[in-house]
Amino acid sequence: MKLLRLKYYLPRMPSGIYGRAALILLMPVIALQFVVSFVFIRRDLEDITQQMTYTMVRELTLIRNEVTQAEDRAAALARLDPMMGPLQMSVRFLEAGAVPPDLIHFEDFSGRIVRATLAQSLPEFLSIQLPRTKVLRTVVDTRHGPLEVEFSRRRVSVAAPHQLIVIMVFFGILLGVIAMAYMRNQLRPIKRLADAAEAFGRGRMIPYHPRGATEVRAAGAAFVDMRSRIERQIEQRTLMLSGVSHDLRTPLTRLKLGLSMLDDDDAKPMLQDVTEMENMVNAFLDFSRGVSTSAMEEADPCALVSEAVDSWTRQGKNVLLVEAVGNRPVPLRVAAVRRALDNLISNAVRYGTRARVSVAVMQKSLRIRVEDDGPGIPDDLRGDAVRPFTRLDPARNQDRGTGVGLGLAIVADIARAHGGTLRLETSEELGGLQADIVIAL
């Protein structure tokens, strides 16, 4: 359980494949640079600085011994004068109260090592000054007072301690950029495959040719074959049911002609059966067509919904458009969306007395909502309501119309073809069914 909870405290991985690839590629490089920099600074740079400082400690000890053997300051300076040239140093005595404090800048890591080494190895050490120039001044205590010794900073620390780090960071960034460019070329075919699969799931067809590595080509070829098989299956289903519908229309027409010659009282029940059979055939045909009969085009959902509501209003139905937000065109199969909307409004006015329609075009989604004041659909039956050829007698009043259970199935199929879904809930305002078509944009 603790391991499962740990993932909630870890930083989230990027959602895109480019972000994850960059993270996988750059994290080891950055970690390696941090480790090498830490080892270099804490081990090599510190050891080298200490060794160079120990050499200066011996020279400072020599200078202090020469001062100790002199009788006064003048004699001490005279004894040290021949040595200052070869040692490349300069010395001067300070007054007892004029000893300057330590001067080490915040970013001077090697300077702190120098001071710690001098303080540990030289008991007479008093202070050290490390200005931003290339000069180092240190003060040691002698029998004649504080003695300031000045020499080059390079004698106790390397000239460019950051050179290795700078070179490592520069080439790390350079190689990282080159690797990212190469990785992007390798990931582009995967991104194109994902875009083609997503577009096909939303009912759009975009050109796609398998490219890239062998595995990516294999996956792309499998996707192309799968897309072709699905298209053939949809086409075969449409042709089969269209053919069946067309073949059934002929005998139904003959039955109508035959029944028209009978008395109205005798022919009325049979005409009703023939009409129901025609409605079933039309429902089968609508379901078989799905969204294959309309192309994707830019359309304004608000105008589309408004036209549908006006059409039902002209038929004398209590249908009202209560909200229309976001008037902008989006890619839709207009005929299919209109068919789905008509199915929802038809169900609303059949099983209720009024229907309320709203549409909202947001930045990333489209929502079309139809509400009614009918009996609604229980929660445990909403999953069955969108299944083909399923009728929910307890949920709907069958005395007001009959069907084959394809209305909501057609709506759900159209929503899925646009990459969306059909949501069935209870209307808070009317108390009946609330059907939402939600499509991702």
Name the phi and psi angles at 321, rounded to 5: -90, 110
Residue carrying the six token digits 């089968």? 284
How many degrees, rounded to 5, is the angle at CA 420 between CA 415 and CA 421?
70
User: What pLDDT score does 400 carry?
Assistant: 47
Residue 285 is inside which H or E element, if any?
A: helix 264-289
User: What pLDDT score does 402 carry?
Assistant: 47
User: What pLDDT score does 3 carry?
Assistant: 46
User: What pLDDT score does 2 carry?
Assistant: 47
Tell me the longest C-alpha to C-alpha distance in the chain: 150
Could you list the mean pLDDT of each consecutive 10-residue stretch along the chain, which spans 441 residues?
A: 49 71 80 76 76 89 88 88 88 86 83 88 89 88 89 79 72 83 85 85 79 87 88 74 69 75 72 74 64 71 91 90 88 86 89 90 90 87 75 49 64 83 89 90 78
The verdict on pTM exceeding 0.75 is: no
Measure the CA–CA gap between 302 and 306, rounded to whole angstroms: 6
Residue 184, CA distances (Å) to 27, 31, 190, 214, 291 in order: 17, 22, 10, 16, 36
User: What pLDDT score does 394 carry?
Assistant: 46
User: What pLDDT score does 357 carry?
Assistant: 93
